[in-house]
Chain A
Amino acid sequence: MSRTEQQGRRVFLKKTATAAAVAIAPGVMLHALPAAAAPRVEAVSGKIRWGMLIDASKCADGCSDCVTACDKENGLDLVDMPAGAEEALWERQRPRWIRQVKLKDNLSGKITNLPMMCQHCEKPPCVDVCPTGASFRRADGIVMVDRHICIGCRYCMMACPYKARSFIHAEVAEKLTHTPRGKGCVESCNLCVHRLDNGESTTACQDACKHQAIVFGDLNDPESAVSRALKKYPSVQIRADLKLNTGIRYSNV
């Protein structure tokens, strides 16, 4: 199966990659890996807080590259419509981690495009309500679901102010090893945690965005690109009134 091959290839590349970025093909860059990348054995530390700044003014109308990239990276494109399902209904039931939203200002009529996904709240309501603790926040700020203890109660979906979560409504035949997925569980954007845990430092959506609308990195490191951008441009949290201290920030909304 080609997908496993791809997986194997990535691991292989990772093993051979030493310091600098590796060019696989013209225009395709695999990002730099620290030479001593053995992160799987280390516990995730709170020294890092992963986050993003999304510049809505750069996000292009009609573009959905980040969505496509996320679907592919996390195997969402492998979730097929079950035979006999009604298409319109299925569209509302299929999982999505990131989505394009187009806004119009009620006063000025100004149009804004932006991607929405899990905002990786510092005080995540989804984690607060989850009865089993399947919804959890890692020390490095990533909020995700442990699919082994999720009972599929969907309370987290009720609690999330950003509608960021998806319930898996059908059996999934094919899945990626790094993104296990099971019928009856809830999931959402995990900031490509498998990449980060392998020592990479970008997300699929960020890589895919030709317009550089997404800057990703460590919010705790003042020198990171995202911290510098946050310092430079005014930014907001969506629904800042809820005081969730989101890891995803937006500018020019």
Chain B
Amino acid sequence: MKKIHFSEWGIDSPRYWGMLAVLGSIVAIAGGAVYYMEHNGHWVTGMTNQVVWGIPHVFAIFLIVAASGALNIASIGTAFGKKAYKPLGRLSALLAITLLAGGLAVLVLDLGQPGRLLVAMTHYNFKSIFAWNIYLYTGFFAIVAVYIWFMMDRRMKAWYKPIGIFAFVWRLLLTTGTGSIFGFLVARQGYDAAILAPMFVIMSFAYGLAVYLLVLMFAFKADGRELGATLLKRLKNLLGVFVAAVLYFTLVYHLANLYGTENHAYEAFILKDGGIYTLLFWGGWVLVGGLIPLGIIYHPGLGNTRGGIVAAATLVILGGFATVYVIVIGGQAFPMAMFPGKTIIASGFFDGVNGQPMLYAPSLPEFLLGLGGVALVLLLTFIGIRMLRFLPATLSDEVADPHHAKP
């Protein structure tokens, strides 16, 4: 195998600074939205005492889940010793850090008291999975940072594999932890399912890889690096496997729910009469995020074009947002079954009168905050690849995969 060289992102300065300026403005607008929401209070958002987590949580959870998934590529290279993936590791680790940073920023800025972050750092309730997540996230930053360092520093070569394995285990914990945030909410029917945590892991594989693919293809195209067709094909096939796995888990999740009588009402809500949630489930989660990308990926023609791969990855991400929306918001909109065998016909606190779902209409500032998180991820990533050597000089098939058969 040829030695791989890494170099800084070489796009011309005006273009680089232009992109930073655009992304920076989006982040600044999000900052304004945060100020507006925190200054006034959450009444300016669509969130209520019934739907307490809104759009910011959808973005935050998507980004956090994608973060651990983005690290997968590096793990495949290190922990599983797949040579072809090794040159891809640095970018994968960088994306893991930036995605997590973006997600956490959104999460924290949506707190009722973001100024009390220090309190969260000093007061722990060890029973709380949320508190554990604070450790998991901080640890993730540290471990991945060390991982990147060992990847870049040849003197640390001996430690490169152990830290890679450690990082891989940690990322599994992290996504399980994120999934468990919902798993612990036994009172809410949509979340009371053991399969939720592993489903989050598999979702992270798909979303993380989709983000990775898009960033890789864009970064390589922008400064004219070569990205071999064989490598690309591998990655897109991997994406196909992950997307299929998400669909499989989705199926098992709903079948398991349908098996238990107590969950029939929730299933009916998501699968057929939940309005927007039903639409997002079938249209977003299943179709846009699952079946269409699968169709593209395995289409003999489309699947081998770069446009097709970009489209598939984009759809996986859009479908991913729909998925998280259905889980986070749909799970809250469905009224809790407080009185089995009875119907609530009047309530002074919107308890799902006559089984009606809770209302939630997202507001603009919430969206801006979420988008700001995404912009922050890209901003940090672009700065990272520009300043340090994250990108392999070439990923042409000869370099990336010595064993590949010449066509």
Q: Which bracket fits the contact residues of B?
A: 35 or more
Contacts of B347 in A (CB 8 A): 99-102
Contacts of A167 in B (CB 8 A): 42, 47, 49, 52, 112
Is B351 a contact of A101 with CB atoms below 8 Å? yes
- Complex: how many Å from CA A116 to CA B352? 14
Q: Which bracket fits the contact residues of A?
A: 35 or more
- Distance (whole angstroms) from the CB of A148 to the closest CB of chain B: 8
- Complex: how many Å from CA A132 to CA B116? 10
Is A150 a contact of B50 with CB atoms below 8 Å? no
- Complex: how many Å from CA A253 to CA B184? 28
**Beyond A93-B48, A171-B41, A242-B186: 14 further Cβ-contacts under 8 Å?**
A96-B349, A99-B347, A101-B348, A105-B342, A106-B341, A127-B127, A132-B124, A132-B125, A158-B332, A159-B184, A159-B185, A169-B42, A170-B43, A184-B112
Partner of B53, one of A89, A133, A154: A154
Is A102 a contact of B345 with CB atoms below 8 Å? yes
Is A158 a contact of B188 with CB atoms below 8 Å? yes
Task: Say yes or no for B35: interface residue by CB 8 A criterion.
Answer: no
Is B111 a contact of A152 with CB atoms below 8 Å? yes
Contacts of A8 in B (CB 8 A): none
Task: Say yes or no for B170: interface residue by CB 8 A criterion.
Answer: no
Is A103 a contact of B127 with CB atoms below 8 Å? no
- Complex: how many Å from CA A239 to CA B189? 13
Is B344 a contact of A183 with CB atoms below 8 Å? no
Task: Say yes or no for B129: interface residue by CB 8 A criterion.
Answer: yes
Partner of A153, one of B41, B46, B112, B342: B112
Task: Say yes or no for B40: interface residue by CB 8 A criterion.
Answer: yes
Which of A82, A90, A125, A184: most chain B Cβ within 10 A? A184
Contacts of B131 in A (CB 8 A): 131-132
- Complex: how many Å from CA A184 to CA B339? 30
Contacts of B348 in A (CB 8 A): 64, 67, 96, 99-101
4 shortest A-B CB distances, which residue pairs?
A152-B112, A184-B112, A161-B187, A99-B348
- Complex: how many Å from CA A142 to CA B128? 20
Partner of B113, one of A99, A158, A184: A184
**Dominant SS at the B interface?**
loop
> Per-residue 0/1 for A174-188: is the Cβ within 8 Å of any B Cβ (1 yes, 0 no)?
000000001111100
- Complex: how many Å from CA A163 to CA B48? 12
Partner of B346, one of A91, A102, A133: A102
Task: Say yes or no for A157: interface residue by CB 8 A criterion.
Answer: yes
Is A92 a contact of B112 with CB atoms below 8 Å? no
Is B343 a contact of A104 with CB atoms below 8 Å? yes
- Complex: how many Å from CA A183 to CA B115? 12
Contacts of B38 in A (CB 8 A): 184
Contact A149:B119 (CB < 8 A) given known A100-B348, A157-B49, A163-B351: yes
- Complex: how many Å from CA A112 to CA B345? 10
- Distance (whole angstroms) from the CB of B50 to the closest CB of chain A: 6
- Distance (whole angstroms) from the CB of B234 to the closest CB of chain A: 40
Is B125 a contact of A131 with CB atoms below 8 Å? yes
Contacts of A253 in B (CB 8 A): 339
Is B125 a contact of A82 with CB atoms below 8 Å? no
Task: Say yes or no for A151: interface residue by CB 8 A criterion.
Answer: yes
- Complex: how many Å from CA A182 to CA B120? 17
